[in-house]
Structure 1
Amino acid sequence: MSYQVLARKYRPRSFETLVGQEHVVRALSHALEQQRLHHAYLFTGTRGVGKTTLSRILAKSFNCETGITAHPCGVCEACTAIDAGRFVDYIEMDAASNRGVDEMASLLEQAIYAPSNARFKVYMIDEVHMLTNHAFNAMLKTLEEPPEHVKFILATTDPQKIPVTVLSRCLQFNLKQMPPGHIVGHLENILGQEQIDFEVPALRLLAQGAHGSMRDALSLTDQAIAYAAGKVSLNAVQGMLGALDQSYLIRLLDALLAQDGKALLDVADEMAARSLSYKAALQDLGSLLHQIAVAQLVPAAVAEDVPEREQLVRLAQSFGREEVQLFYQIAVHGRNELALAPDEYAGFSMTLLRMLAFRPVSGEQLASSPAPAPSSGGRPAVPLAGSPAQNNTRPAPVNHGSGNANGNVVNRGTTAASTPAMAVSHSSATQNSNVTSINVPVAATAPVAPATPEPATPAPGSTKISPVMAALAAARAGSAKPGARPAPVAEVAARSEPATDKPVQVAPVAPVAKVAPVAPPPVKSAPVVSAPAPMIAEQDFQSVGMDDMPPPWDEEMFFEGEPARSAVPAKTQNRSIESRPHPEVAVISEPVAEVEQQAAIATPGLKPEAAVLNTDRQIFNSPVPELNWDGHWPTLAASLPVRGVAQQMAQQSELVSCRQDGNAHVFRLRLPLQTLLSSGSVEKLTAALSERFDKSIRLETEIGAVEQTANAQAVAEREVRQQQAEASIQADSFVQTLMREFGATIVTGSVRPV
């Protein structure tokens, strides 16, 4: 008789011998004992957990000659025929090879006939998820209301692929994976019957390699018996599976405990000499660290029969809990990054060195550790004024936030040691005594003076900073707290003063009185009260702030030839009274009428009735009766139906003269650029003018400075509309109330005419 593999020879033949599926056995046994039989069963689970075995046992329970029972006899004709696979009324069908609608139709046609010599005709469809949608649809009606003598048993490893219409018609049982303990016990029973010597650690290693599948465990056992020539030993199983000896991992952890880098690399070299898998080593190291963590936190969960129990307990007592968690994370990430390493040895050794280099530090240890001394090439950490770092303690955090309602500092920054920055403390005599601190990155760190009138002593290695940076820092401090009125910044050194080696000092300033209500601008012209340039610039930085300046991508787009706006507000002197006015100066805007008048006079390119032209230049501006034209070239150029370079030529040119030469009228244009004459622009513009006047037109050109152009007229008109819009917003009573009561500011450049 030929040899029969263990998985087939020791297949369970009753519910009592089935291992690891007690929840399914209990449900089926109760249903059989109470004669509550369903017409369709669905068994789901991974490979080798007993789906086909359960199907055969259930078929024997249905057709045993002793009756419908949960304990089939196993000796009657029906039981022996089902075990031998030759029972005519038990049909096992593989859906992977019979997945079409034709095969399903043939099966359903035979289902209507009564069984030949059995109580029930049982159809077992394995890997049912492989059926096509048409096959599933064909079996729905029969699966819902089959004949009384038909039972369906479906089995699958992927229930997600089965339609819900099929799932709702079946009694579903989920078979779980085999626990390693159940596999080890079952293997001990089988090897005992086979009279084969074995070692329990070897069986445990086989159970781990089976990954929850009893059939895989039995197949590996067959292979181990052949590999070891009759004795299943630990060394033989390790050599067969290529598993790593746990002694290597214990030595690695002992080297980490002793902080011995050479011992770590020696173990890695020994593994390389034996050609062991580094990926498997990191996987086993992660499993060992998991067991150590369990032994630290839940000691009762460690089984008594674990061979490495003494080593686990010793390592659990030697390492800290944070260290084990960190090592586990490094091992997991190192295994994932092994394919990215130059080679597996480099990736494995770098993972070990990473474990050696990093150690978790608790908050108490960090608080008690002294501040690190700056290296010769590094940048020293700069603490806040009055912080504990000035008393030779650990670096204090550099705050980037504002004081809350209780006077506490809200920290939104990083530590001074990790992010070198200049910390500027800006306080004001408010009711809640709020404190605001910010970070301003500079080329190198600088010491900060306390917020007291006494000058600060420069620290060694301090660097100079520009007064402009100090003003920007103060502006950010003033606008850091949303909804709060920024406090004025103290007097800062003049911008033209060169930087010195002295540290930046911000002196306290007395509280600012409440601003009186501001009336709308008068209709008549009002003089502009000016202030020194540094004072106005400083006030502008305070009121607007870096965060209020429009970003570059929000700049208004102009036509060609129009100058671009600056990102920094350029009309400080044209504002209404600022939200936080300087104690000595108030900037008042000019009325709208005067703004329009000055803009019309100062901007060239307007019509004669709205602008004063430069009489020194030769510019044509007379009516031409022959063409029925008023002679205003900018208006005509803007209305011509041309595009591209011809359009730019028309809008950026200036008409010098217009005369009649025979039957043609000659337009002489002055152009600012020679490039406007390219791409046939002269011919296109000539054709457009000829079509406009329905007469023969000829163009003559010259190069020179231009003033009265269509482009300049459009720029002037937009500027007037912009000034009108800004003046209207500043004169609005509601806006003035917001500025007066809540410290609101108008972001210059954000106002757009409607």
Structure 2
Amino acid sequence: MSYQVLARKWRPRSFREMVGQTHVLKALINALDNQRLHHAYLFTGTRGVGKTTIARIIAKCLNCETGITSTPCGTCSVCREIDEGRFVDLIEIDAASRTKVEDTRELLDNVQYAPSRGRFKVYLIDEVHMLSTHSFNALLKTLEEPPPYVKFILATTDPQKLPATILSRCLQFSLKNMSPERVVEHLSHVLAAENVPFEADALWLLGRAADGSMRDAMSLTDQAIAFGEGKVLAADVRAMLGSLDQGQVYGVLQALLEGDARALLEAVRNLAEQGPDWAGVLAEMLNVLHRVAIAQALPEAVDNGQGDRDRVLALAQALPAEDVQFYYQMGLIGRRDLPLAPDPRGGFEMVLLRMLAFRPADTDDAPKPVLKPVGISQATADPANPVAAPAPAVPPPAAEPAPAAPAAPAPLVVPPPATVDHEPELPADAELRAEVEAISVPEPVAEVVDLPWEDPAPASAPVAEPVAEPASAPRPTPTAAPAVHDEPPFDPSAYAAVGMDRDDEPPLDEDYYGGESDPVGFSYLDELAEHVQEEAPAPAPAPLPAAKPATGLALQWLELFPQLPVSGMTGNIAANCTLIAADGDDWLLHLDPGQGALFNTTQQRRLNEALNQHLGRTLNLRIELVLPEQETPAQAAARKRAERQQGAVASIEQDPLIQQMIKLFGAKVRQDTIEPVEALANQGQ
């Protein structure tokens, strides 16, 4: 006798042998036991979940020689003929090959004849959704009122394609997909009965590869037995399916956790030796991250079906929830964009490097490993020039900004503007040169102490320190009030010496627009600084002025705030508060309701801890969203900035040289380019 495949050999022959589908079996068994039989049944579900099997069992239940029952004997001639597929009153029709209306009419012509051997003539129409519209119309009347000895059983994998008129005439049952746990349980039973050695990990690989179909699982098991020479081993099944080793996925995630770029690329190189499907590797990473997220939310919900429960729980403890969600979202976007990459491996590497570069690092509980450099380090690349230790992320503020001009970076070479074809010279007039030098380099001023969170633009801004410009036309720099000098007589020939044509008229007011520096007198080093400067973040809107000046507890809060070890969002919350009541260790703060979107219990806890640390005792801090009546630290800082800005604008407008240029050249003072000298000094730090 020829070999019979497992899917056919182990096909259930009764309801009690069925695996799963309890919701369907319960309804059918009760209907058969109570003789409440419908004339048309519709079974829907994916391939290999038992639609045709249930239909054949129903045919046996209806025609068994022992009577209509939910437990056919399986030994009578009718049951044996149905199991062998040769029962004359069970008509199985493949709708995919008989879609024409003529085929349906031929079927309906035979409906009027009584069954030959059984009690009922059962029509089993598989893949019924393939019938044409005319076939459905021809079937409608007979399907609604068939003869009492006729039963229709329809099966389909796509019920959405069935007309509503067909659905309304049938008793519909939707069969569910088989879970991997149920598939593994059934495969264990089958292989034990077949005396085939197996490994549990191999069955889990088969259960996931079956994708909800028991028939596919049985077919893959047949293939695995042949591949493993009578054994079902995990290594053989993995090689047969071309699936990925879970250990390599955990190696990639461990490298991400440690921030080790070298180990990350090494893991990718090891993966590339197996020639994997990189989209499948990303999908496997997403599956692991999904289980890690479940472990973080509900650890007991993580099963050990894949033999990696301990690893999943360890990752759930080591990875912050923010990182898990970030990696998962980045992986989803990477899978979408992977077909657009020039090389699949390169696209996969870019996804991992993007995860490494943009991982969240501003949470309290997130690990902050230092990223390891990739490739040859600078110390080994050039032994003659040893590299100094890296500077701290936040350098300590300098005591006084250095007025000397910094040298231009050596690697950057920016050609001079095309309009300048010769080296300009300084004015010949010695007195005018002295006056220009006096206003170009500001004198050192006393340091202005601002609030900790009120730092101006970063040090990389081009106005941080005065730059020694090459010889060019003198340009007034609005950084400080000029020294008091006697007014020298104006000599137009001094300006003619710098190569200024009569066509170089002052620009009109319409030529100016916000956000761009003045093109007149734009120096070579200013242009170089614009190429290397970093874009400063947009300043936050200034808070509205307070109704009353700070007194009492509010004034004490103004003095206490700069000493608190807070920054970021917590510092912003504290800056917009004012102290209302301090009854021993019970403090009450009023917070501007405009900051309510940023305020939560975490910010209140952090501010409370900062106060406890600074004062050396435990306070009970309470914050209410009430508009402060007295000045908050943020309002005080805004007021000081506005006063310094007004003083700087008045100083520039009253400058004698500026007045002279306005009078003789029709110059205009652009107030949006004026910054207080204190801000420039802080930028130099």
| TM-score normalized by the length of structure 1 | 0.54
> Post-superposition shift, 1:498?
2.6
Distance 2:647 2:4 in 1: 93
> Post-superposition shift, 1:148?
0.5
CA RMSD in angstroms, aligned pairs only: 3.5
Q: Is the 8 A contact 1:449 1:503 kept in 2?
A: no
Amino acid at match of 2:345: Y
> Post-superposition shift, 1:499?
2.8
For 2:668, the equivalent position in structure 1 comes to 497
Amino acid at match of 1:301: A
Distance 1:113 1:241 in 2: 51
Find out whether 1:121 has 2:121 as its counterpart.
yes
For 1:24, the equivalent position in structure 2 comes to 24
Deviations 1:479-535 (A, max 9, x none): xxxxxxxxxxxxxxxx97333663499xxxxxxxxxxxxxxxxxxxxxxxxxxxxxx
Is the alpha carbon distance of 1:363 and 1:146 closer, same or farther for their aligned partners in structure 2, counting shifts above 3 Å? same
Is the alpha carbon distance of 1:269 and 1:55 closer, same or farther for their aligned partners in structure 2, counting shifts above 3 Å? same
Q: Is the 8 A contact 1:384 1:448 kept in 2?
A: no
Amino acid at match of 1:146: P
> Post-superposition shift, 1:191?
0.9
Amino acid at match of 1:143: L
> Post-superposition shift, 1:209?
0.4
Distance 2:269 2:353 in 1: 14
For 1:180, the equivalent position in structure 2 comes to 180
SS in 2 for 1:231: coil
Deviations 1:353-412 (A, max 9, x none): 11111222567799xx98794435124444555799999954999xxxxxxxx9965999
Q: Is the 8 A contact 2:32 2:69 kept in 1?
A: yes
Is the alpha carbon distance of 1:191 and 1:453 closer, same or farther for their aligned partners in structure 2, counting shifts above 3 Å? closer
Is the alpha carbon distance of 1:407 and 1:107 closer, same or farther for their aligned partners in structure 2, counting shifts above 3 Å? same
Q: Bigger radius of gyration, 1 or 2?
A: 1
SS in 2 for 1:186: helix
> Post-superposition shift, 1:194?
1.3
Deviating above 6 A after TM superposition, structure 1's stretches of 4 or more consecutive aligned residues are 363-366, 369-372, 386-392, 410-413
For 1:330, the equivalent position in structure 2 comes to 330
Deviations 1:106-162 (A, max 9, x none): 111111111111100000000001111111111111111110000000000010111
For 1:71, the equivalent position in structure 2 comes to 71
SS in 2 for 1:313: helix
For 2:438, the equivalent position in structure 1 comes to none
Distance 1:234 1:384 in 2: 62
What does 1:156-555 correspond to in 2, within 5 Å? 156-361=156-361, 373-375=458-460, 377-381=533-537, 382-385=539-542, 393-394=567-568, 450=640, 456=646, 497-499=668-670, 502-503=674-675
Q: Is the 8 A contact 2:199 2:232 kept in 1?
A: yes
Is the alpha carbon distance of 1:379 and 1:115 closer, same or farther for their aligned partners in structure 2, counting shifts above 3 Å? closer
Distance 1:140 1:100 in 2: 15
Amino acid at match of 1:239: A
Distance 2:155 2:218 in 1: 21
Amino acid at match of 1:293: A
Amino acid at match of 1:74: G
SS in 2 for 1:262: helix
Query: Bigger relative contact order, structure 1 or 2, given CA contacts below 8 A and separation 6+?
Result: 2
Distance 2:183 2:593 in 1: 62
Distance 2:335 2:270 in 1: 19
Find out whether 1:14 has 2:27 as its counterpart.
no
Q: Is the 8 A contact 1:99 1:132 kept in 2?
A: yes
Distance 1:52 1:86 in 2: 15
Deviations 1:220-278 (A, max 9, x none): 11111111111110000110111110110111111111110000000001111221221
Distance 1:277 1:498 in 2: 64
Amino acid at match of 2:674: K
> Post-superposition shift, 1:452?
6.1
SS in 2 for 1:111: coil
Is the alpha carbon distance of 1:242 and 1:137 closer, same or farther for their aligned partners in structure 2, counting shifts above 3 Å? same
> Post-superposition shift, 1:333?
1.4
Distance 2:217 2:19 in 1: 13
Q: Is the 8 A contact 2:204 2:305 kept in 1?
A: no
Q: Is the 8 A contact 1:385 1:449 kept in 2?
A: no
Q: Is the 8 A contact 1:386 1:450 kept in 2?
A: no
Q: Is the 8 A contact 2:320 2:365 kept in 1?
A: no
Distance 2:596 2:640 in 1: 19
Amino acid at match of 2:93: M
Is the alpha carbon distance of 1:451 and 1:268 closer, same or farther for their aligned partners in structure 2, counting shifts above 3 Å? closer
What does 1:39-78 correspond to in 2, within 5 Å? 39-78=39-78
Is the alpha carbon distance of 1:457 and 1:323 closer, same or farther for their aligned partners in structure 2, counting shifts above 3 Å? farther
For 1:654, the equivalent position in structure 2 comes to none
Structure 1 unaligned runs (5+)? 398-405, 414-431, 436-446, 466-494, 506-754
Q: Is the 8 A contact 1:449 1:456 kept in 2?
A: no
Is the alpha carbon distance of 1:407 and 1:351 closer, same or farther for their aligned partners in structure 2, counting shifts above 3 Å? closer
Q: Is the 8 A contact 1:40 1:169 kept in 2?
A: yes
For 2:104, the equivalent position in structure 1 comes to 104
Q: Is the 8 A contact 2:47 2:157 kept in 1?
A: yes
SS in 2 for 1:65: coil
For these two proteins, the number of residue pairs brought into alignment is 435
Is the alpha carbon distance of 1:68 and 1:362 closer, same or farther for their aligned partners in structure 2, counting shifts above 3 Å? farther
Q: Is the 8 A contact 1:385 1:451 kept in 2?
A: no
Amino acid at match of 2:102: D
Distance 2:185 2:123 in 1: 33
Q: Is the 8 A contact 2:644 2:676 kept in 1?
A: no
Distance 2:362 2:644 in 1: 39
More displaced 10-residue stretch of structure 1: 353-362 or 2-11: 353-362
Q: Is the 8 A contact 1:296 1:316 kept in 2?
A: yes
Q: Is the 8 A contact 1:385 1:450 kept in 2?
A: no
Is the alpha carbon distance of 1:51 and 1:408 closer, same or farther for their aligned partners in structure 2, counting shifts above 3 Å? closer
Q: Is the 8 A contact 2:94 2:127 kept in 1?
A: yes
For 1:611, the equivalent position in structure 2 comes to none
Amino acid at match of 1:11: R
Distance 1:65 1:174 in 2: 30
SS in 2 for 1:337: helix
Distance 1:453 1:197 in 2: 86
| TM-score normalized by the length of structure 2 | 0.59
Q: Is the 8 A contact 2:66 2:72 kept in 1?
A: yes
Deviations 1:682-736 (A, max 9, x none): xxxxxxxxxxxxxxxxxxxxxxxxxxxxxxxxxxxxxxxxxxxxxxxxxxxxxxx
Is the alpha carbon distance of 1:5 and 1:457 closer, same or farther for their aligned partners in structure 2, counting shifts above 3 Å? farther
Amino acid at match of 1:345: R
